[in-house]
């Protein structure tokens, strides 16, 4: 089911400079795999060696941080918006 | 040759690159703040050999009476930075507060009277906007809990830069008014600070503006080091034993540490271990919780506290603040809103300093740490007061009494005075009980 993904500038070299992508996934974990298929190499940047999202990246599903939801198991519905934002900002 | 040197408007920059704090990758010193490889924060890297050769206590003392006396330690190239008199705020020996708490040598670094907008943010903004001009930005912006918006708007006005600031819509009236007066565009976002911050990250990607605490963050955050340098200089070129500072993103805390280490590194002060303790409000204490639980990661929270200037639920430098507190033998504590209000009053009544909620948080944590035996009475302790109480009047409304309204007659005055003294006596009796 199509989900909209907002990609930060630093990763747009993997997406042909596109800031938004569409992809199909039932949860964040699947979304990461699906992104890797359409943009090879991107998962290695989004996740650390253990396959967990990097600690300096925030993932939001419809504006809610996945750490307040179910982490990589957070389920996705048709039309959801997933935003990937570098964590180091503000203050 | 001599002439050419004399007419130069730039002395050699003491910084060359930005370096990832996590993986060490280096980047050109442009408007960028995260590592492209691991998304870690970028930090300015300096050439300390050059600084050691060219900077002495005397050259610093001969400089301007502002943060720019430490220009060699700040990431700008120009010899004419934006200088609106920021910094060199008083370091006050706080004997009455010390006695009340049971300490012997307590100092307050009073940025409640920093210029031009009465908070420590003027330090970081002076640096960020100087760098923004060097990098060619004509519009500057920020995601703010209030003080930063005040400062960015004011200093942008002085520098002739366009300004658009983003704040949570529920800020204190004083902080909104204190931004609007300078004529920027103010976006009051219906959400908390973390949501404002996230929105700004997305705007920063698309609008080509200089966001002081996003794409200019490596330069901006360096401005906080001056809070370390000034204390060292004001203590007679010595470092204190212990500092207590507020924690929002954690940046200020880690940069005071960096400032002290740099002064040691270039030989301006003798080597010394300084303990670093941090203060949070219980309603937004992700770093204090991680400290308490012995975690090395910070779990974001949803803030609910009167200390709105510290209400960052997802602190960017949280893990680094944890690291600094742990390796220096300090602590990170949190206090309730009621304790914050009491501490604002305590500081005002003992030292004549009216601070905002962030300062109340810091003083309340100081008190808590002393009571728990976590600050030795013999330690030279410096408490950082970072903002001014006139900006957060809502927080103390109803807790500070009312004026005695009287008729313009001697008899009316005498009656009111008698009543006031009786009330005072009753209050004392309650304290004794």
> Could you please report the per-residue DSSP string of B48-80?
HHHHHHH--HHHHHTS-SSGGGGGGGSS---SS
Tell me which residue of B274, B230, B248 sits closest to B362, measured CA to CA. Answer: B248
Residue B325 CB contacts under 8 Å (≥ 6 apart), including other chains? B253, B276, B277, B278, B291, B331, B332
Residues B231 and B359 in one domain: yes
With a cut of 0.90, is the ipTM above it?
A: no
Q: How many angstroms separate the CA atoms of A84 and A63, rounded? A: 10
Backbone angles phi, psi at B394, to 5 degrees: -55, -35
**What is the pairing mode between strands B242-246 and B15-20?**
unpaired
- % chain B with pLDDT above 90: 91
Size of the A and B interface in Cβ pairs below 8 Å: 86
Residue B424 banded pLDDT, cuts 50, 70, 90: confident
Q: What is the pTM of this model?
A: 0.93
Nearest to A9 among B205, B211, B251 (CB): B205
Residues B312 and B392 in one domain: yes
Over residues B244-258, the pLDDT tens digits come to: 999 999 999 999 999
Residue B431 banded pLDDT, cuts 50, 70, 90: low
User: What are the structure tokens assigned to B84, written together?
Assistant: 């609106």
Residue A1 banded pLDDT, cuts 50, 70, 90: low
- Whether A90 and B143 lie within 8 Å, measured CB to CB: yes
- Whether B205 and A8 lie within 8 Å, measured CB to CB: yes
Q: How many angstroms separate the CA atoms of A25 and A3, rounded? A: 7
**HSE-CB of B418 using CA atoms within 13 angstroms:** 6
Instruction: Find the mean pLDDT for residues B371-396.
Output: 97
- Whether A85 and B41 lie within 8 Å, measured CB to CB: no
Residues B107 and B183 in one domain: no
pLDDT of residue B185: 98
Domains delineated in chain A: 2-86 (3.10.20.30)
Residue B31 has pLDDT above 70, yes or no: yes
Which residue of A4, A14, A60, A90 to mutate against B (max B Cβ within 10 Å)? A90
Chain A residues whose CB is inside 8 A of the B300 CB are 65, 67-68
- % chain B with pLDDT above 70: 96
For B273-307, the three-class secondary structure string (H helix, E strand, C coil) is CCEEEEEEECCECHHHHHHHCCCCCCCCCCCCCCC
Q: Which of A28-37, B197-206, B281-290 has the lowest mean pLDDT?
A: B197-206
Residues B287 and B194 in one domain: no
- Total domain count, chain B: 3
Which residue of B19, B37, B39, B209 to mutate against A (max A Cβ within 10 Å)? B39
Evaluate whether residue B82 is within a structural domain.
no
Residues B345 and B273 in one domain: yes
Residues B51 and B8 in one domain: yes
Helices (H), B185-265: 193-207, 217-222, 225-234, 251-265
Helices (H), A7-72: 28-38, 42-46
Over residues B331-365, the pLDDT tens digits come to: 999 999 999 999 999 999 999 999 999 999 999 99
- Whether A45 and B37 lie within 8 Å, measured CB to CB: yes
Nearest to A54 among B39, B221, B251 (CB): B39
Residue ranges making up the domain that contains B19: 2-75+120-220
Residues B248 and B327 in one domain: yes
CB environment B251-263: b (16+ within 10 A), e (fewer): bbbbbbbbbbebb
Residue B10 has pLDDT above 80, yes or no: no
């Amino acid at each position: 089911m199509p989900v909209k993904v907002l990609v930060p500038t630093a990763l747009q070299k993997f997406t042909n400079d596109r800031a938004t992508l569409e992809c199909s996934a039932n949860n964040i974990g699947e979304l990461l795999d699906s992104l890797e298929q359409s943009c090879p190499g991107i998962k290695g940047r989004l996740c650390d060696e253990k396959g967990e999202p990097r600690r300096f990246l925030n993932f939001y599903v419809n504006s809610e941080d996945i750490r307040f939801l179910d982490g990589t198991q957070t389920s996705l519905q048709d039309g959801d918006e997933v935003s990937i934002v570098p964590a180091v900002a503000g203050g | 040759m001599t002439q050419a040197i004399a007419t130069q408007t730039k002395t050699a920059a003491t910084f060359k690159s930005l370096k990832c704090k996590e993986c060490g990758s280096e980047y050109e010193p442009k408007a960028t703040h995260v590592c492209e490889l691991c998304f870690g924060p970028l930090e300015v890297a300096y050439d300390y050999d050059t600084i050691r050769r060219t900077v002495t206590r005397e050259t610093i003392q001969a400089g301007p009476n502002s943060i720019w006396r430490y220009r060699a330690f700040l990431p700008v190239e120009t010899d004419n930075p934006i200088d609106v008199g920021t910094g060199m705020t008083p370091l006050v020996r706080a004997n009455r507060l010390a006695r009340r708490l049971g300490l012997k040598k307590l100092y307050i670094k009073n940025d409640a009277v920093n210029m031009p907008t009465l908070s420590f943010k003027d330090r970081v903004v002076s640096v960020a906007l100087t760098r923004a001009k060097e990098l060619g930005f004509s519009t500057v912006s920020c995601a703010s809990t209030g003080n930063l918006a005040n400062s960015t708007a004011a200093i942008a006005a002085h520098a002739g830069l366009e300004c658009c600031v983003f704040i949570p819509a529920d800020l204190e009236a004083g902080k909104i008014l204190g931004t609007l007066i300078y004529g920027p565009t103010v976006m009051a976002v219906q959400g908390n600070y973390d949501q404002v911050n996230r929105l700004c990250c997305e705007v920063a990607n698309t609008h080509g503006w200089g966001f002081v605490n996003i794409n200019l963050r490596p330069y901006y955050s360096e401005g906080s080091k001056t809070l370390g340098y000034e204390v060292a200089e004001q203590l007679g070129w010595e470092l204190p034993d212990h500092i207590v500072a507020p924690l929002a993103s954690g940046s200020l805390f880690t940069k005071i540490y960096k400032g002290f280490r740099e002064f040691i590194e270039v030989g301006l002060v003798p080597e010394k271990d300084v303990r670093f303790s941090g203060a949070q409000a219980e309603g937004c204490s992700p770093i204090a919780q991680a400290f308490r639980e012995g975690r090395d990661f910070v779990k974001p929270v949803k803030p609910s506290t009167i200390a709105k200037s510290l209400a960052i639920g997802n602190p960017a430098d949280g893990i680094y603040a944890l690291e600094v507190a742990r390796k220096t033998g300090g602590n990170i504590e949190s206090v309730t809103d009621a304790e914050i209000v009491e501490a604002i009053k305590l500081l005002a009544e003992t030292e004549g300093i009216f601070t905002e909620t962030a300062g109340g948080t810091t003083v309340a944590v100081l008190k808590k740490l002393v009571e728990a035996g976590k600050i030795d009475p013999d330690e030279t302790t410096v408490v950082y007061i970072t903002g001014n109480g006139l900006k957060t009047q809502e927080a103390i409304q109803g807790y500070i009494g009312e004026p005695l309204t009287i008729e313009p007659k001697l008899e009316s005055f005498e009656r009111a005075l008698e009543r006031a003294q009786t009330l005072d006596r009753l209050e004392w009796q309650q304290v004794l009980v």
